[in-house]
Structure 1
Amino acid sequence: MLVAVVAAGCAAEAEPVGRDESAMSLTDTAVMGSLQDRIKPLKTVRVPAPKGSAIVDQAAAVRLGKALFWDVQAGGDGQTACASCHYAAGADTRTKNTLAPGPDGRFASLGVTAPDQELTPGNIDNDDRVGSQGVTSMRFVGLSEDLASGADRCEPAPSPVFGEARQVTPRNSSTVIGSVFMRELFWDGRARGVFNGVDLTGEDGIARVEASALASQATGPANDPIEMSCAGRGFNGPGGLGAKLLARRALQHQHVDPTDGVLGGSALRCGDHACTYRELVAAAFGDLDAEAKFSLVWGEAIQAYEATLVPDDTPLDRYLSGDFAALTDRQKYGFWVFLAPGNCVTCHFGAELSDASWAFAEQNGLVNQDGGDVGYHNVGVRPVSGPSPEDLGRASFSRTAAPADRGAFKTPSLRNVGLTAPYFHNGGKATLADVVTFYGNWSEHADDVSISVRQISSLVASLPNYKDALVDFLQNGLTDCRVAQERAPFDHPSLDVPNGPRLAAVGAEGHGVCP
């Protein structure tokens, strides 16, 4: 049935150069005929290189960035790191205290009626969102003089919504893995591709580092009073995050596996003592005034680390490189559905599986066919028509000011998507099967849906077993085993995630072998 359906749905076309036709089945022929070179192995894409960087030693910057990303000392409470919201395949899979109420201020989804409760994974049909929990609401008083303490001096300032519980962000956390290929970051793209050395806006600052959305993004959460910090702390100067960390030993409250691909061995030893952040910064940035420019250090160093998190060894990558046994027959059928009748490739294009990538914009320009900013689409997850839309998305940061940007959000890459539930900007779909079902019935908010999404063919629903095949392809065909097994470069120090798992340190070999 699979071969018959696939072969009937595609016209024969010339095979890509370099493939062994003798190893190809009829299913492979159909898939390759539909491919039309729209998706390639990720190894064929150059990792964007920042221009104008202050880094003098790239390896030292990667070491510094990995330490900063995983270190709980960055949090105002001494318990919250960047990784606290990006610990699971670069994303957040916690279920306790992760529901945020929408504009109506009511907790009314997934069995949750108040802050700090466990949710039952499921689909959301109101204005609630599954976000990531950050810190309790506090006001910054000053830095602690105790260098053994990771917590700042703060005073309580209970949240009107969350009280004394940890606050929750109003959007679902995106994965950081593979994000180096994206032009802009956050669901609305407010973290710009030019890093100004200060914040995420890309406007006037102390530097101009191009191709650096990761650096811009990194400056957003660190001093945010919901995500990581007591309200009022900054990056730079005597009372800032820089002054705090520069004097402290890197990862002093966490364990590092001796075989960690970046931090293992003697990487965090400076002579006869454990390295302070001041020493790690000097190795990466030279004579830079780190306390006065710590926002620059923070952004560029974390970017250097995150740029190494490239998930380019999925079954799909091996299949596209000529290993036709890398995908099962059902996954090949799912891939064909993705390419042809489903037309998912319209938005999830290229090796990056996203039209929000640097490469897509370079090849296709900065404007969608609907007039909106390239890489952003309203797929009808929640209604945005009417006088009081729940979330304007890209419209708040649009470059074109087009009506199509109202309620539009960045197209995420689908690499490792099977590891990063829940889905969409509001975390409103619990499983990939729910997502596929949603796209088959998106007419609920059809008035809000962008032109690109309307290209999804109605033919899909009539195909036999298409949903199971497409989910299998997404779940397994796009998963890099190294990410799932936390093998280098996806290994990490230990981390106690608030209201989440206690992660042991993992070395370069991860938890198991990969193909």
Structure 2
Amino acid sequence: MRKRWRFNTVKPHRQISRFSKAITIAAIVIVAILAGYTVSAQVTSRPLASLKTVTVPEPDNLTEFVSNKLAAIKLGKALFWDMQVGSDGVTACASCHFHAGADNRSKNQIAPGLLQINSDRTANPDTVFNVGGAPNYQLKPEDFPFHQLSNPNDKSTVISDRNDVVSSQGIFNSEFVDVIPGKAEDRVKSIPDPVFNVGGANVRRVEPRNTPTVINSVFNFRNFWDGRAQEIFNGVNEFGLRDPNASIVKATTPSHLEFVKVSLNHSSLASQAVGPPLSSFEMSADGRTFEEIGDKFGTIDKKTHSAGKGKKLPRKLAKKLLPLRPLGKQIVDPQDSALATESRSPQPGLQTATYNQLIAQAFKPEWWKSNRIIRVNPDGSRTFANKPDRSLETKEYTLMEYNFPLFFGLAVQMYESTLISDDTPLDRFLEGDKTALNEKQQSGKLLFEGKAQCTVCHNGAELSVASVSAVQQQRIGIINVPNLKVLFDNGFFNIGVRPTLEDPGVGSNDPFGNPLSETQLALLGTFKQLLGSEPNTTVGSNDLLVIDGGFKTPGLRNVALTAPYFHSGGYLTLRQVVDFYNRRGDFPQGALGDIKLTDDEKDDLVAFLEALTDERVKYEKAPFDHPQLFVPNGHPGDFTSVANDGKGKATDSFLEISAIGKNGGTGSPNFLATQ
């Protein structure tokens, strides 16, 4: 299997040069905090608060692009739920985020350790399925946790250990050929998949990290588990200012175009949104972008499930999607909170006939309206020309097509910014309703804030130190211990879920060869160039950087609905998670403190975590209602045999998610709840 990710090969200070000492280094961070050494205020002094007290982050310059916010939210909801976005005409963004913003499917949801690296930091992907033995396996409750111990309070006796990941099935391995005008399905060529196949028939590929919820994700300073979705959106891809070639086109007059660079802060959700539509694991056949992107504009790493250097959200996708009816395969409830006036129920789709029209309603005309086109020449250069009196050729793009990544990213961000669950029992309790939490939940709250030490990482109204309000004050976390300055990316911690070499997380590189870690960028002197601001502290060669194996601290609202847990998805229940923390993680590099909870205290802590559920999320009430969706749900057969469709792929099973209006429904079962 080809290399799937570019890992950090920079050797700043001892974080890399002394990689073998990662166990000792990582343990210093939280231990030092708990011992009372000088620590950043964001780590220790943010009390719990109602989420209603936090202003929803929004770009300072949003009005330069968006003319109608309600229209942009409508567009974003349509794009997020639309099955036509995927190359197969089936896979939507929502296909992995339809249950409490996450994924409750349990068949064909296993990926082997594809991100594993060697001690010298070269790729060493594990392609062996330890759980079930092969793809298309139906997970069972007894499979969990993947790291099983004879005593959950003692990590010394291991019964079994599996490095597989529970994530989300996406696309079949295939190569993009072309779009078909008027069709939701791309023309693709099936490619034999050496990993995700059963008996030689390709099955849907599964992402290498567990799917996090999109609910409340607007509060994250960076997005994705490894933080690669940048706080600044460049209008093109995930990587913000890291991509020196990212630019869009502006019509200064209807007949004059010019290339411009854009920068929208507080927009990691927009940065995140433009990644999956290009991912050959999530939504796209390989190569659904400019064929002409080559060495001049950057190459495409087809195995990274993210954009490579200069890779652009596909204008091929724009050519397909813009003339189609939004949600053309799906029914919209007549009482949908954002799309009610657009419903054609019982017919599928929206009243507005095309995505062209939705974009025109939402965005300022200088970004989509022109009588000129953008032409990509054989040498890769871009030139402007008058619109010809004929259909555009493959390498000719309207302004709306060319700027499609801007529209897609911002619209999806604006929709996801409405998905805020700020009406949990905890929120009501913190607002003064002392009956909102029962006695057991209040006891759990005291443990959460005290003995269990949860608020070291899960603090503030967002229950996360990876939030905008925490990180924008101090992007590089600082711990001063005697004769040593310990530095780390604020909000990213290695807690010993898996060995560090199985997935370096924020210790990886971006596709341009730069560390994802902002702390390392400060050490290299490229922080301001690549992130747009000055670091909050100097980073020197004598400082200790704790980076590898660090993952973004998630918020915890609705955590009772979003199993399985951690970036590996290897834990099924909240009790298993509490046991994990109680034994200070599973692997010695984890930086967790010793808490020694009793069984009754564990029960109280779980009860508190269950009190973080917003009933609107559970029962899909506005703003968490949605259109109809058909999601791939494994393949007929099992992990030993599947039906071949005659073209090298397994046939699909589908799960129908019914259209729900603003008043909600009965909710859907949690992960493995019916097994």
Query: Smaller-chain TM-score range?
Result: 0.7 to 0.9
In structure 1, the partner of 2:257 is: none
CA contact (8 A) 2:102 2:212 kept: yes
The answer on 1:284 being equivalent to 2:418 is no
TM-score (norm 1): 0.86
> For 2:586 and 2:70, how far apart are their aligned partners in 1?
50
Query: Counterparts in 2 of 1:117-132, with a 5 A limit?
Result: 117-121=137-141, 122-124=144-146, 125-132=161-168
Residues 266-312 of structure 1 show CA distances to partners (whole Å, capped at 9, x for unaligned) of 3789xx96421000000011322320111111100000100000110
- Paired amino acid for 1:399: E
**1:105 maps to which of 127, 136, 141:** 127
Q: Which has the higher strand share?
A: 2
CA contact (8 A) 1:143 1:239 kept: no
> For 1:374 and 1:190, how far apart are their aligned partners in 2?
14
> For 2:431 and 2:315, how far apart are their aligned partners in 1?
52
**1:152 maps to which of 186, 190, 204:** 186
> For 2:403 and 2:66, how far apart are their aligned partners in 1?
13
Aligned-partner SS, 1:140: strand
In structure 2, the partner of 1:22 is: none
CA contact (8 A) 2:289 2:314 kept: no
The answer on 1:229 being equivalent to 2:284 is yes
In structure 2, the partner of 1:161 is: 195
In structure 1, the partner of 2:427 is: 317
> For 1:86 and 1:175, how far apart are their aligned partners in 2?
7
Question: Structure 1 residues 78 and 437, CA, compared in 2 at 3 Å: closer, same or farther?
Answer: same
TM-score (norm 2): 0.66
In structure 2, the partner of 1:246 is: 322
In structure 2, the partner of 1:376 is: 492
The answer on 1:467 being equivalent to 2:543 is no
> For 1:323 and 1:413, how far apart are their aligned partners in 2?
22
Aligned-partner SS, 1:437: helix
In structure 2, the partner of 1:449 is: 590
- Paired amino acid for 1:263: L
In structure 1, the partner of 2:296 is: none
Instruction: Give the alignment's Cα RMSD to 1 decimal.
Output: 2.0
**Alignment length (residue pairs):** 461
Percent of matched pairs sharing the same residue: 46
**2:575 maps to which of 433, 446, 452:** 433
The answer on 1:408 being equivalent to 2:550 is yes
In structure 2, the partner of 1:69 is: 80
> In the TM superposition, what is the alpha-carbon distance from 1:449 to its structure 2 partner?
1.8
> In the TM superposition, what is the alpha-carbon distance from 1:57 to its structure 2 partner?
0.9
- Paired amino acid for 1:68: L
> For 1:201 and 1:363, how far apart are their aligned partners in 2?
21
CA contact (8 A) 1:219 1:298 kept: yes
Residues 19-48 of structure 1 show CA distances to partners (whole Å, capped at 9, x for unaligned) of xxxxxxxxxxxxxxxx98611100000000
Aligned-partner SS, 1:83: helix
Question: Structure 1 residues 265 and 239, CA, compared in 2 at 3 Å: closer, same or farther?
Answer: closer
The answer on 1:487 being equivalent to 2:621 is yes
Question: Structure 1 residues 247 and 238, CA, compared in 2 at 3 Å: closer, same or farther?
Answer: farther
Residues 152-195 of structure 1 show CA distances to partners (whole Å, capped at 9, x for unaligned) of 00011121101310000000001000000000000000000000
- Paired amino acid for 2:180: S
**1:262 maps to which of 334, 338, 341:** 338
Aligned-partner SS, 2:546: helix
- Paired amino acid for 2:626: H
> In the TM superposition, what is the alpha-carbon distance from 1:445 to its structure 2 partner?
1.6
Larger radius of gyration: 2
In structure 2, the partner of 1:12 is: none
In structure 2, the partner of 1:178 is: 216
Question: Structure 1 residues 238 and 341, CA, compared in 2 at 3 Å: closer, same or farther?
Answer: closer
In structure 1, the partner of 2:506 is: 394
> In the TM superposition, what is the alpha-carbon distance from 1:443 to its structure 2 partner?
5.4
> For 1:108 and 1:512, how far apart are their aligned partners in 2?
35
More off after superposition, 234-243 vs 488-497: 234-243
Structure with greater contact order relative to length (CA < 8 Å, sep ≥ 6): 2
> For 1:224 and 1:90, how far apart are their aligned partners in 2?
19
> In the TM superposition, what is the alpha-carbon distance from 1:141 to its structure 2 partner?
0.3
In structure 2, the partner of 1:93 is: 104
- Paired amino acid for 2:128: R
Residues 109-146 of structure 1 show CA distances to partners (whole Å, capped at 9, x for unaligned) of 2xx1111221123111322111111010010000012x
> For 2:443 and 2:612, how far apart are their aligned partners in 1?
14
CA contact (8 A) 1:268 1:275 kept: no
> For 1:239 and 1:211, how far apart are their aligned partners in 2?
25
Aligned-partner SS, 1:442: coil
**2:472 maps to which of 348, 362, 370:** 362
**1:133 maps to which of 161, 166, 169:** 169
> In the TM superposition, what is the alpha-carbon distance from 1:442 to its structure 2 partner?
2.5
Residues 411-466 of structure 1 show CA distances to partners (whole Å, capped at 9, x for unaligned) of 000010010000000101111110000011125422x123xx33xx43x42x4601
> For 1:175 and 1:268, how far apart are their aligned partners in 2?
29
CA contact (8 A) 1:71 1:250 kept: yes
> For 1:268 and 1:502, how far apart are their aligned partners in 2?
19
> For 2:351 and 2:548, how far apart are their aligned partners in 1?
54
> For 1:80 and 1:266, how far apart are their aligned partners in 2?
22
- Paired amino acid for 1:391: D
> In the TM superposition, what is the alpha-carbon distance from 1:51 to its structure 2 partner?
2.3
In structure 1, the partner of 2:452 is: 342
> For 2:504 and 2:357, how far apart are their aligned partners in 1?
43
The answer on 1:506 being equivalent to 2:622 is no
Consecutive aligned runs of 4 or more in structure 1 exceeding 6 Å deviation: 235-238
In structure 2, the partner of 1:304 is: 414
More off after superposition, 179-188 vs 53-62: 53-62
> For 2:313 and 2:240, how far apart are their aligned partners in 1?
21
Question: Structure 1 residues 313 and 237, CA, compared in 2 at 3 Å: closer, same or farther?
Answer: closer
Q: Which runs of 5+ in 2 are unaligned?
A: 1-43, 114-124, 147-160, 248-261, 291-311, 369-398, 480-485, 509-515, 521-543, 634-653, 668-675
Question: Structure 1 residues 253 and 464, CA, compared in 2 at 3 Å: closer, same or farther?
Answer: closer
Q: Which has the higher helix share?
A: 1
**1:43 maps to which of 52, 58, 61:** 52
In structure 2, the partner of 1:198 is: 236
CA contact (8 A) 1:268 1:274 kept: no
Question: Structure 1 residues 106 and 237, CA, compared in 2 at 3 Å: closer, same or farther?
Answer: closer
